[in-house]
Structure 1
Amino acid sequence: MKALFIGGTGTISSAISSLAIEKGVELTLLTRSGNGPEGAERLICDVNDEDRAFSVLKGRSFDVVVDFVAFRPEQVERDIRLFQERTGQYIFISSASTYQKPLAHPVITESTPLYNPYWQYARDKIACETLLMAAYRSTAFPVTIVRPSHTYGDCSVPVAIHGAQGSWQVLARMLEGKPVIVHGDGLSLWTFTHNTDFARGFYGLMGNPHAIGEAVHITSDETLTWNAAFAAIGRALGVEPILQHISSDLLSALRPELLGTLLGDKANSVIFDNSKIKRLVPGFFATVRFDEGVRRTVEYVRSHPECQKADPEFDAWCDRVIKAYSSCVRSF
């Protein structure tokens, strides 16, 4: 199998790239940096420079093309022009955040409506999906849409609220005995998927004729409350986390960039029905339990200083919010 990955070095894409090479895929990465795993051909090009990309790809064709870095409709329109005659399958990485918010039913299938008034990122992904399915129906453009949910790997512990530098500062607060903010009462349900599990499901879709014209999500079957997730992170760190519960509405008002990631995503209870990916990829199921996966992630982050990015601005914001919230509660 010959595959082209646009991107290929992120949390999701790096795991898929590694598995594809292990499986013997003839893998080419189109990236701006030229980074990527050993065993992959690297084409250094910014795909947003369409003329340059067309020149770099001239004379090439692939069994599968995957775009990990398309977020807006104009980007998938470009991909349709670039790959209409170059590939037997084009896989678009969408997002489970596209599913209806607020949910009418907590169990999500691929037929759950796509609607998210809280998050522009999700609305852009919905618009991309709409364009791609229209191209499939009108010109047989061979699209497969994949919707990841909260997928994590070795380099960053998955949390709901963090600053611009990622999740390390949340872990640092736990290690220092400081309270960490948990949205709502911490009892909403969430699903975390390890990137190696996601990669196995994804690989089964590559070159799969039954996946053409389909949309499918790939997640773990394990569902946890956020309180349970933080407890697992605390155990991996060897501490008992102090959780400060604050409503998602208030947090979004105090930090507007949380509106999409909370009200448009993580504040909702979700349970994924993975029947479709299991039908398309017989034998697939997630094997990495969250407490096991997050222990591995914590060990990696603690042994790699480059993953420990301090975020004093976010730390100070947490202190201010918790102090103000506690003062308000005491005043009543």
Structure 2
Amino acid sequence: MDVCVIGGSRYFGRRLIEELRDAGAAVTVVNRGSSPPPQGVTRLLADRDDEAALRTALAGRSFDVVVDQVCYSPLQAAVAARVFAGRTRRYVLTSTVEVYAGLGRPGGAAAAGTAVTEAALAEEAVDPSAWPVDPELPWADEQFRADHYGEGKRQAEALLLRQAPFDVAAVRTAHVLGAGDFTGRLAHYVERIERGLPVAVHPAPRPASFVHAPEMARFLAWAAAADFTGPVNAASHGTLDARELAEAVGRTVGAVPVLVAGTGEPVSPFSFDRCYAMDTGRAARLGFRFSSVDDWLPAVVEEARA
């Protein structure tokens, strides 16, 4: 298999490249050169926002599948749809649980293509075929994209699945935990609980799904070789709300969490007032079996202590 990975310079994206390479795929990485790729892969230097530069870098090349780790807006999706037309038969977009932001909140209003739910979120809760795409929003502004991360991913999914001239799968990742996590979200819990500092949470935090970074890389590599299309959830079995996560961290580090709620201070990462639990039934029907959070979380907490 000849695979192009856009981005993938860090965290589970780098693991994905290694997973593909070690499985025997010919891997080409396209990025801006911020860090060297793993050994044994080809690197092309290009800014994915620069359509002309991307076409130049890809001149004369084609791939069985493209895995896009860094598509955050419909503008970037539109560039990919044009540039990779005739260059690939399959495109895997790394999407996010954040596409479900705003669902599962009591009293929350549904937007077009959504269904408000209190249950674990299945893919049809956000339907890319019905989601509106607005390319006139300031998607070229990096801060705007960061502030509208979930919406950018929703619109990127919608544009690719409706307009791209190749098969598209959108992998909606749960909250990814593992060694090399640059976000520091789990480390926040570990540090504060070990030091006996309070951990701020919502008065009634809602459940969320998580996935181990190595398993996320394996799932993306599996999706690259599969033939399904459309969105698919990717998450380990078992959910945790912020209180349960803090208790799990406390058991591993040997300390009792000091939880505070309703104080007005910013809540900790992974404390949500809306449901972020994901239904992985489609992935199971397609043939991929995820592990359980309990299988790997203690080891990840130990990694975060280092």
Q: TM-score, normalised by structure 1?
A: 0.75
Larger helix share, 1 or 2:
1
Aligned with 1:200 (options 218, 225, 241): 218
Aligned-partner SS, 2:67: strand
* CA 1:184–1:35: 2 relative to 1, 3 Å: farther
Q: In the alignment, which residue of structure 2 is the partner of 1:300?
A: 303
Output the amino acid matched with 1:238.
Answer: G
C-alpha displacement of 1:277: 1.2
Q: In the alignment, which residue of structure 1 is the partner of 2:282?
A: 276
Output the amino acid matched with 2:175.
Answer: H
CA offsets, 1:58-81, max 9 Å, x none? 100001111111101111111111
2:3 corresponds to 1:3: yes
Question: Structure 2: which 5+ residue stretches go unaligned?
Answer: 105-115, 132-146
Which structure has the larger Rg?
1
Preserved CA contact (<8 Å) 1:201 1:277: no
Output the amino acid matched with 1:175.
Answer: E
2:292 corresponds to 1:285: no
Output the amino acid matched with 2:303.
Answer: Y
Output the amino acid matched with 1:135.
Answer: Q
2:157 corresponds to 1:129: yes
Output the amino acid matched with 2:59.
Answer: K
* CA 1:292–1:238: 2 relative to 1, 3 Å: farther
Output the amino acid matched with 2:167.
Answer: P
2:120 corresponds to 1:107: yes
Preserved CA contact (<8 Å) 1:220 1:286: yes
C-alpha displacement of 1:199: 2.4
Per mean C-alpha deviation after superposition, the further-off stretch among 76-85 and 38-47 is 38-47
Preserved CA contact (<8 Å) 1:155 1:297: no
- State the distance in 2 between where 1:235 and 1:45 align: 46
CA offsets, 1:76-108, max 9 Å, x none? 111111101111111112222212623232221
- State the distance in 1 between where 2:279 and 2:187 align: 31
CA offsets, 1:159-196, max 9 Å, x none? xxxxx86553443222221111122334x212111122
Alignment of 1:1-332 (within 5 A): 1-32=1-32, 33-99=34-100, 101-103=102-104, 104-105=116-117, 106-113=119-126, 120-136=148-164, 140-156=165-181, 166-186=185-205, 188-209=206-227, 211-212=228-229, 214-246=230-262, 250=264, 266-280=272-286, 282=287, 284-287=288-291, 289-303=292-306
- State the distance in 2 between where 1:129 and 1:156 align: 25
Output the amino acid matched with 1:132.
Answer: L
Using the aligned pairs only, state the percent identity: 27
Question: Structure 1: which 5+ residue stretches go unaligned?
Answer: 158-163, 304-332
Q: Give the root-mean-square deviation of aligned CA atoms.
A: 2.7
Q: In the alignment, which residue of structure 1 is the partner of 2:139?
A: none
CA offsets, 1:207-231, max 9 Å, x none? 322x13x111111121223212111
Preserved CA contact (<8 Å) 2:72 2:152: yes
* CA 1:290–1:275: 2 relative to 1, 3 Å: closer
* CA 1:230–1:165: 2 relative to 1, 3 Å: closer
Aligned-partner SS, 1:93: strand
Per mean C-alpha deviation after superposition, the further-off stretch among 194-203 and 292-301 is 292-301
Aligned-partner SS, 2:89: coil
Preserved CA contact (<8 Å) 2:67 2:224: no
Output the amino acid matched with 1:141.
Answer: F
* CA 1:10–1:24: 2 relative to 1, 3 Å: same
Q: In the comparison of the two structures, how many residue pairs are matched? A: 276
CA offsets, 1:8-27, max 9 Å, x none? 12333122222112211111
Q: TM-score, normalised by structure 2?
A: 0.80
